[in-house]
């Protein structure tokens, strides 16, 4: 493969990744990301702290499965 082929594949992969992340951001509340049981939120007068522990674990498991499936295909 030439350098142009590698660069093209990299750009397409980055574009697909950005589309997926964009869709997750748009539909995040519908899918309850950030408000799962196990996500911690504290708020007061004029401030709010959110620690999405369960959401981070869920995203980590999903990415691990997807990346392992992609790696096994090669």
What does the domain layout of the chain look like in residue ranges?
1-31, 32-74
Q: Tens digit of pLDDT for each residue in 40-50?
A: 889 999 999 98
pTM: 0.59
Interior/surface letters 41-52, b for 16+ CB within 10 angstroms, e for the rest: eeeeeeeeeeeb
Tell me: pLDDT of 33 over 70: no
Coil/strand/helix, residue 1: coil
Q: Determine the Cα–Cα distance for residues 60 and 4; give it in Å rounded to an integer.
A: 32
58: tokens are 């869920």
């Amino acid at each position: 493969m030439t350098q142009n082929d590698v660069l093209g594949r990299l750009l397409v992969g980055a574009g697909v990744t950005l589309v997926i992340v964009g869709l997750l951001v748009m539909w995040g509340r519908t899918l309850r990301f950030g408000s799962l049981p196990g996500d911690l939120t504290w708020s007061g007068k004029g401030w709010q702290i959110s620690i999405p522990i369960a959401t981070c674990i869920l995203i980590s498991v999903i990415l691990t499965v997807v990346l392992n499936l992609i790696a096994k295909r090669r």
